Amino acid sequence: MITVVDYGYGNIFSIVSAFNEIGFKCKVSDKENDILNATIIVLPGVGAFKQAMRSLEIKKLDKIIIKAVANKKNIIGICLGYQMLFDKSNEFGVYNGLGLVEGEVRSLKTFDGRYSKIPNVGWRPLILNKENKIMSDKNDNQMFYFVHSFVPFAKYEKKISSFIKFNDNKIHASIHYNNIVGFQFHPEKSGKAGLKLLKESTEYLLNRD
């Protein structure tokens, strides 16, 4: 069972439609049992980090998600949902995330922004992390849709599955590690390549040891 967490922030319809397209049924829920019993938890997100985390906390979904992942349940974070998997964010202050991935969310203004506009909006080619080896090589240089002003940086780069170039910097674009998958981009809005990667990632989680 795939449960998409309903906490008020995220393109839930697009995500459910994408999973349906690749042959997986989803339940949209904010109920504890649906999350704890899910095979895969999907955490979407669009908007501001502080408000999104606050929405999770009000419903006590933060503690439920942390408990589920500690019990080896799988999770996929998308866009802001991906950022919330990390220890903290520096978006308009410093705010704690779920702490499922060691690292922090930084502004793209941290990097040299003289050449690229912020927010980073549009289609960008992925650069695979050859040390990670979970994402298929077929995803290398494929175009995916991004819209963001902040980006997470993992403490341990071996967890990162892909990068994109932002000026002269390689920034972290996705993570595949044990029972955690995350995308800074929107696979559900990235056409056939996005659907293929979403299916590949879902199957990776379902089939991992």
Residue 126 has phi, psi (to 5 degrees) of -80, 145
Looking at the 3D structure of the chain, how many domains does it have? Answer: 1
Domain boundaries, position 143: 2-207
Residue 82 has phi, psi (to 5 degrees) of -65, -45
Dihedral Cα 156, 158, 163, 166, nearest 10 deg: 30
Quote the pLDDT of residue 114.
Answer: 65
Quote the pLDDT of residue 112.
Answer: 66
Quote the pLDDT of residue 194.
Answer: 97
The residues assigned a catalytic role are: 79, 186, 188
139-192 confidence digits (pLDDT tens): 999 999 999 999 999 999 999 999 999 888 899 999 999 999 999 999 999 999
4-45 confidence digits (pLDDT tens): 999 988 889 999 999 999 999 999 999 999 999 999 999 998
Contact yes or no for 95/104 (Cβ under 8 A) = no
Does residue 196 register a pLDDT over 80? yes
Average pLDDT over residues 42-57: 94
Q: For residue 133, give every residue at least 6 positions away whose Cβ sits within 8 Å of its Cβ, in sequence order, or none.
A: none
11: domain CATH number is: 3.40.50.880
According to DSSP, the β-strands at 180-183 and 169-177 are antiparallel
Amino acid at 145: Y
Quote the pLDDT of residue 142.
Answer: 96
104-153 confidence digits (pLDDT tens): 999 998 876 565 788 889 999 999 999 998 999 999 999 999 999 999 99
Quote the pLDDT of residue 113.
Answer: 59
